[in-house]
Amino acid sequence: MRVDSRTLPLVPLLLGPVGALQLPLLGGSSSASQAPIAADKPLISSPLLQEQVKAENLMQRARQLYKIAELGEGEYNHPTRVIGSKGHLGTLDYIYSTLTNLGDYYTVSNQSFPAVTGNVFESRLVLGHTVPESATAMSLTPPTKHKEPVYGQLVAVANLGCDASDYPSDLDGAIAFISRGQCPFGTKSELAGKAGAVAAVIYNNEKGDMSGTLGTPSPDHVATFGLSDTDAAPFLEQLHKGEKVDGIAYVDAIVESISTTNIIAQTTGGDPDNCVMLGGHSDSVGEGPGINDDGSGSLTLLELATLLTEFRVNNCVRFAWWAAEEEGLLGSDYYVSVLTAAENKKIRLFMDYDMLASPNFAYQVYNATNALNPVGSEELRDLYVEFYEAHDLNYTFIPFDGRSDYDAFIRNGIPGGGIATGAEGVKTVTEQGMFGGVAGEWYDPCYHQLCDTVANLNLTAWEWNTKLVAHSIATYAKSFDGFPKRVEETSISSFAEEPKYHGPFLRQ
């Protein structure tokens, strides 16, 4: 069975030469026609699939992925697999060719969609006589004029800067100083630009540093920085006293619209009306190679897609490698948004696998309950729990708050869940007792950084989690007995509330 091509706008992957890796310029979908659909193979078995999972094979893929990330060096001066880079095109090429080499076991599709991408090459903010340490150019910020430093006075914006009337009339040529809160950073930057500011600084109204994204570009956006509450305090005081603060802002950055691609592989065998779907994201951030985020999840999927071919499945298994997750879950959003109601219903559940091998890991299970999410999410959550318990492994629940690609699914009535091992969160003392590692440090000290390399993987966590992903695939590929049916009247709107996050960046 093929993915219904009417529901997926399929276009060829337009990959240029990326080193030794070269994807044949195929159409959107590929699978040999003379399929002896695995009828002679043994029925999928969780223990047998898990048995095939080997840390060394995962590591070999990780080393290969790092080499692919190095293709991004020409443009970015360091390894990266950010969308639009050769490192990402190479990643797509690697995934696609690995899958099509598996012959007729899968129908492989690619789905292109528009995405906005940005890159901050250099930035600097000077306020008075200081260079505030916490100042960070926001993601998707435009550059300062002519990519040169701009000079202006720092001018405080009233209230939370969500209304045009909060912006003083003397903002022409100034640097707007705006509190975080109530509305998106993009709105504040736009209003500052409209009022004539040459740059904007948004300071935290909570404790801590602040980085975020401006989101969808606007011609009125100005170069925008985030600043911590403590770095902002002395300047607020000076402005409050009526003292003048001179500023210099400099951002060299680009924001551009490109086309990027999701890759979908569906088993040709199994009931196509009842699919278990799972996904990881193929892209990294521009700052680094993303071998844990989400090389780990992507490679777990690729390895298991390969191992699965030794088995026959009763239900269809659909793998996804999303693009532009790091730009705000764009690939998974797009995929779900173009599903017809009938195609939506064929997906019995979606399992998200993003960051499975954090060096200072915790075994984290999304706390996806049926009370707040489509029914079935909790059964999936419990499958993960039972696995960890059965193997005497500790686990913790983490919020199911929209930070990864499951979000579009649950908001459109499809049960979802997943596991992770942690990003920029800090390990607690209790968790050190449960998982080892170091309390007080990030689960992934290289999260979204250059050091997210092959050395940034915990192999024990990766192997166990890959076994668990194998178990999740095997369980549902074999049977949906006892798993709730998709409810006819799924009140999609009841899950459509704005989640806390939508992807990795703070938006407001």
d(CA 205, CA 297): 34
By C-beta, is 326 or 333 nearer to ligand DPN? 326
CB 284 within 8 A of CB 295: yes
Near Zn ion by CB under 5 A: residue from 287, 354, 378, 463:
354
Is 294 a binding residue for Zn ion by CB under 5 A? The answer is yes
Is 444 a binding residue for Zn ion by CB under 5 A? The answer is no
By C-beta, is 293 or 378 nearer to Zn ion? 293
Answer yes or no: 287 catalytic. Answer: no
At 20, the amino acid letter reads A
Q: Which of 190, 287, 325, 326 is catalytic?
A: 325
CA distances from 326 to 103, 151, 356, 476 (A): 31, 32, 16, 29
End-to-end Cα, the chain, rounded Å: 44
By C-beta, is 246 or 424 nearer to ligand DPN? 424
Is 452 a binding residue for ligand DPN by CB under 6 A? The answer is no
The angle formed by the CA atoms of residues 285, 303 and 306, to the nearest 5 degrees, is: 135
Compute the radius of gyration of the chain from its Cα atoms.
24
Size of the site for Zn ion (CB under 5 A): 3
Is 89 a binding residue for ligand DPN by CB under 6 A? The answer is no
Is 407 a binding residue for ligand DPN by CB under 6 A? The answer is no
Near ligand DPN by CB under 6 A: residue from 72, 98, 504, 506:
504
Instruction: Kindly state the helix (H) or strand (E) to which residue 50 belongs, with its residue range.
Output: helix 46-51
Is 293 a binding residue for Zn ion by CB under 5 A? The answer is yes
CB 306 within 8 A of CB 346: no
Q: Please report how close the Cβ of residue 202 comes to ligand DPN at its closest, in angstroms.
A: 21
231 binds, among ligand DPN, Zn ion, none (CB under 5 to 8 A by kind): none
Minimal CA–CA distance to 247: which of 234, 235, 237?
A: 235
Is 327 a binding residue for ligand DPN by CB under 6 A? The answer is no
Strands 246-267 and 106-127: antiparallel
403 binds, among Zn ion, ligand DPN, none (CB under 5 to 8 A by kind): ligand DPN
At 141, the amino acid letter reads T
Is 283 a binding residue for Zn ion by CB under 5 A? The answer is no
By C-beta, is 229 or 325 nearer to ligand DPN? 325
Q: Please report how close the Cβ of residue 416 comes to Zn ion at its closest, in angstroms.
A: 15
At 313, the amino acid letter reads V
Strand spans (E) along 345-395: 347-353, 364-366
Site residues for Zn ion per CB under 5 A:
293-294, 354
- Active-site positions read 325
Site residues for ligand DPN per CB under 6 A:
293-294, 325-326, 354-355, 403-404, 420, 423, 504
